[in-house]
């Protein structure tokens, strides 16, 4: 029996049922960024029960578990914990009981899988050597949690990791992991722009500078930035997601704000988009006769997520051995963003991030054939997003165990 088999033999029906109950509980009780106190307490308690040295409150609400088991490499496994301000509409019996909050991105599944993997690896310490680090990270959704943990002395607690590993559920067929070397998730920047006008009565627009008209002109002009200033061979997205102005139908407001988000894979394209946004906004404000220049405020910035090529090849081979060729697929680059890469960059260590399929395979196949994936297979951040618990959960645990033992072999 291999070391992986010896560890996973404990992932029996009873263990899977217990983890499924944990997942449903976490799904019912989502918590927003930097407020994951209940989730962190549960994660910390389970780590302590498994013999880990545990530190809580790292980077706010982060939890760090360290299990030292002789000489060898240090492997860090990461799960994010925060939920989203989304009103759940799945109709599940274990749907969120927190109004306006939902685990719409699967972080509850991530926490459950890491908790299960940590428990199994602790119980089979005779099968591996080295140091296992379990990172339960806050505030991934606002690109702040990983940096907060690093800034709070994370690696002083754990020592430098040899590799950092993480996974994420996606609306792809359950029973499959998705992985590739190199760039896999784009960089993202979110910006709030405040526009200044001159308010007045709606019957006298000539006495005003209307910030709503200014905002509308900016939105339309920004739609040409990607189509006319970025090469068709590059990848970029620019989305204006929010416009706010005014409080009454017969009052022209004196201010408006727009919030936008860009996604890029190239530092040069990112620089070009940010410069174009500033140029367009300032030019339109000048053209409108705005009394003050616009104010720009960065809300968050996600780094590019790129897998270390050598470590990724090593892990892909391990996954293929474990799950078979049919269980491992290529993870095409996505415009979604993550702050997972902060850990590897800060530690100077290779990192690997892979996808975990979570959609019903039959439903996915029917939707794909009909060209209705977007309609029939809800994706991350949708109010209908609901990972299939089985086989997603046991495979997620198995993937983390396999990944850890790829480096922590005896």
Mapping DSSP to helix (H, G, I), strand (E, B) and coil, where does residue 332 land?
Answer: coil
pLDDT (mean) for 304-317: 98
Q: Are strands 163-173 and 74-80 parallel, antiparallel or unpaired?
A: parallel
Q: Give the tens place of pLDDT for each residue, 161-197.
A: 999 999 999 999 999 999 999 999 999 999 999 999 9
Quickly tell me which residue has 């428990």 as its tokens: 119
Band the pLDDT of 409: cuts 50, 70, 90. confident
Residues 400 and 113: beta-carbon distance below 8 Å:
yes
Q: Give the tens place of pLDDT for each residue, 103-139.
A: 999 999 999 999 999 999 999 999 999 999 999 999 9
Active site residue 140: yes
pLDDT at 367: 96
Give me the helix-helix angle, 13-28 and 37-49, nearest 10°: 160
Q: Give the tens place of pLDDT for each residue, 202-215.
A: 999 999 999 999 99
Active site residue 53: no
Cis peptide before 391 (omega within 30 of 0): yes
Tell me: pLDDT of 65 over 90. yes
Q: Report the C-alpha gap between 238 and 276 in whole angstroms.
A: 11
pLDDT (mean) for 213-220: 98
- Considering the chain, what percentage of its residues have pLDDT values greater than 90? 99
Torsion 385-391-393-398 (CA) sign: negative
Q: Give the tens place of pLDDT for each residue, 31-44.
A: 999 999 999 999 99
Catalytic, out of 108, 140, 210, 338: 140
SS (H, E, C) 211-230: HHHHHHHHHHHHHHHHHHHC
pLDDT (mean) for 215-224: 98
Band the pLDDT of 277: cuts 50, 70, 90. very high
Q: Give the tens place of pLDDT for each residue, 332-347.
A: 999 999 999 999 999 9
Catalytic, out of 31, 82, 88, 308: 82
**DSSP string of 58-109?**
ETTTEEEEEEEESSS-EEEEEEE---BS----S--TT---STT-B--SSHHH
- The whole-model pTM stands at 0.93
Band the pLDDT of 1: cuts 50, 70, 90. low
């Amino acid at each position: 029996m291999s070391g992986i088999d010896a560890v996973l033999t404990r992932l029996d029906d009873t263990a899977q049922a217990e983890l499924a109950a944990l997942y449903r509980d976490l799904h019912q009780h989502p918590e927003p960024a930097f407020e994951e106190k209940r989730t962190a307490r549960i994660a910390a308690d389970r780590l302590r029960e498994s013999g880990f040295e545990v530190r809580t409150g790292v980077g706010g609400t982060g939890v760090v578990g360290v299990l030292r088991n002789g000489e060898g490499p240090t492997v860090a496994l990461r799960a994010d914990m925060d939920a989203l301000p989304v009103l759940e509409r799945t109709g599940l019996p274990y749907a969120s009981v927190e109004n306006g909050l939902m685990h719409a991105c699967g972080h509850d599944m991530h926490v459950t899988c890491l908790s299960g993997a940590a428990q199994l690896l602790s119980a089979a310490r005779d099968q591996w050597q080295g140091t296992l680090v379990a990172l339960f990270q806050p505030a991934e959704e606002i690109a702040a949690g990983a940096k907060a943990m690093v800034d709070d002395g994370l690696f002083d607690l754990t020592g430098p990791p040899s590799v950092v590993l993480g996974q994420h559920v996606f609306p792809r067929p359950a029973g499959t992991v998705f992985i590739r070397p190199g760039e896999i998730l784009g960089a993202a920047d979110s910006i709030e722009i405040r526009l200044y006008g001159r308010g007045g009565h709606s019957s006298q627009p000539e006495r005003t500078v209307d910030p709503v008209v200014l905002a509308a002109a900016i939105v339309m002009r920004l739609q040409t930035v990607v189509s006319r200033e970025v090469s068709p061979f590059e990848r970029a997205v620019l989305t204006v997601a929010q416009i706010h102005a005014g409080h009454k139908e017969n009052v022209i407001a004196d201010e408006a704000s727009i919030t936008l988000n860009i996604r890029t894979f190239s530092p040069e394209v990112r620089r070009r988009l940010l410069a174009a946004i500033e140029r367009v906004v300032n030019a339109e404000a000048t053209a409108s006769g705005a009394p003050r220049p616009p104010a720009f405020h960065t809300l968050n910035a996600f780094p590019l997520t790129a897998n270390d090529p050598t470590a990724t090849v090593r892990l892909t081979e391990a996954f293929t051995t474990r799950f078979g060729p049919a269980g491992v697929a290529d993870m095409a680059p996505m415009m979604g963003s993550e702050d997972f890469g902060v850990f590897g960059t800060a530690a100077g260590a290779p990192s690997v991030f892979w996808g975990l399929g979570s959609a019903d395979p039959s439903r996915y196949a029917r939707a794909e054939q009909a060209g209705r994936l977007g309609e029939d297979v809800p994706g991350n951040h949708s109010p209908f997003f609901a990972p299939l618990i089985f086989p997603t959960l046991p495979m997620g645990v198995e993937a983390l165990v396999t990944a850890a033992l790829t480096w922590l072999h005896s």
